[in-house]
Structure 1
Amino acid sequence: MFDPFDETWWRAGASLNWWDSEFAEPTGWMPDPDRALAWLRAHRPAAVCALALLRSYRTCETGQLHGLEPMLPAAPGAMLWRSMASLGLVDLGYPINVDGRGAWFGPNAPFTAVRIAQHHTIRGRLAPLGLTPMETASIGPGTLRAQRQYDRHNLITTGMAVSARRAGWLTAGEGWCQFSRITGDGEDGEGGPDLALMGETDLVFVEMTASMGLTLESKFRKWDRILDHPAAGRIHVVWPAGGRGRGAAEIVRRLDGLCADRPRQHAADAAEWTRTLACRDGFAPAPGRPRSPDRWGHRDMARLGAVYGMPAAGSWRLPERLSGRYWG
């Protein structure tokens, strides 16, 4: 499994070297567009699932995507990723090589990250795939274009989601974690945490923190207001410190201080929390047995189908999300 904490990949900074589908020409190891389209039309559920997870988590490594949903291939050279890149649906990210031996690229790279195309919206490019409206909607609301690309930050967060899934939690990424969704109050805005862990009784939100900017205290005060909301009674917030170098320990100390008088907010070291899901103050919630979505759209569709004379509407080309295969 790719380790986003390995400093080998970040010696040139916290960003990757992106093959941008808006500006780069398809390479020889990608299928031509006609072949790519035919393949994706034949494997539509995998393409929809991949785009939904990328919209939720922003930037993911291919092995991480496999960890979130086993139906997706871990190998970066798999036909799914090559076809999606050929059609301009995704960009591909590679580590920046700083040893003077040239750039890593394509099948020779030690890992490949994926994001929804950043410099154009892909909604129009989905039409040739023949998706149903429900399949398109299941990818997520809003403009289908990459947002807030902080590569190291996002890859660490996605790794946390994979660990949480293995521990039994349901998870949702930043694309679904909006304050207004948490409280049901539109005035709370579209901002929100990086990750949600949904258990049988506990609901844990994760705020990955890699710096001590001027906005850090204001983010804590924002959470103070959210946690005071009547809908937030079972919510806890975890603040994993994901800084680099000598400043990393200082970030942890700062988070310890800010969490000290906040019983439902907890500091953690990002690498340690990814391994153990335990915080520095001993807070270590258990997922219990959360209930995943179980064909939650099929019953309603079946009822509508009966009304309109389409008895098979409960199973006709509905997206995988409605069968409980993946979540956020």
Structure 2
Amino acid sequence: MLPITTPPIVGAPMRMVTGPHLTAAVAAAGAISFLGAGYDLETLSAQVKETLELLPQDHGASDNSGGSQSSAEEKILPFGFGFLVWKLNLLEVLVEVTKHRPCAVWLFAANNPTEMVAWVKEFKSKVGWCRVFVQISTAREAVDLVEAGADVIVAQGADAGGHGAVSAAGTLSVVREIVEAVGHRVPVVGAGGIVDGKGIAAVLAAGADAVALGTRLLATDESIAPRAWKELVASTSEGGINTVRTRIYDELRGTGDWPKIFNGRAIINDTYLDQQRGVDEETNRQRFAEAAVKGDFSRVTAFAGTGVGQIKQITRVEDLIERLQKDAKAALREAALRFSSV
């Protein structure tokens, strides 16, 4: 990987959000960057090509051979790929990773813990140069995955936007438990509801080695999320009461085949409210489909974490990451000064 600025920030690989422009911008800003491949392998080559074209020249693929010259197969991409395990074939994924040689992969959402362990073992035996990040929500899973060879554990709490474990504690609780379980062996990245410098400082103080940003990076100029989604994120207040974890959006938008152990946190809108009012599913589905054609986010899914209320504007990635790191350092210094005499 390229030199990383501090505190370390990781750009979450969000499907339908983290395209080439966002991936390149996050990497160029000195953060750890992942392309949101999701479960789409067909467009991966084109996305990799575009991302490399967008990166500054000094952020191109690196030489892993230790010399000044290397063959194409020794080049390592300066960004990773994020995969949704449950809907992919492991062998096909390994072919793509071997072809493109990302510096890391981020694995999430296996059908069950045993499947994820199998994926990690295969990655470590077949693509040794590639660092394996695994996103989970329990200390028990973390221990098993580190034993299997995982290089980094992404500890995702229930505050996270988008998909996550149905049964999960809040972000700080998840981070603390996972750090205590495996933090002495591998780095732990805290994820879920983190959108500002003080949030970063809190998760680092809880023992995490880095933080992952999702919703906050969605609301940037470089993300491929629709403008209406970004504006909704920037205008929504009190994420704790104006977002909800549910499967209704997946059921209505045609992604209801997600494993039942996962649901998604989204901004509450008329789709969810109609379900709560008892509107039948077929009527709700029709209304959702009509809104999707119009790009109407009064009904269309708008995934977002509980920190959404602290996002006030859509920004450029470079400015955002620089400010967040500066604010995080200031928050840590201030806390140390406040309590240094206690």
Asked if TM exceeds 0.5, the reply is no
TM-score normalised according to structure 2 size: 0.26
Q: Which has the higher helix share?
A: 2
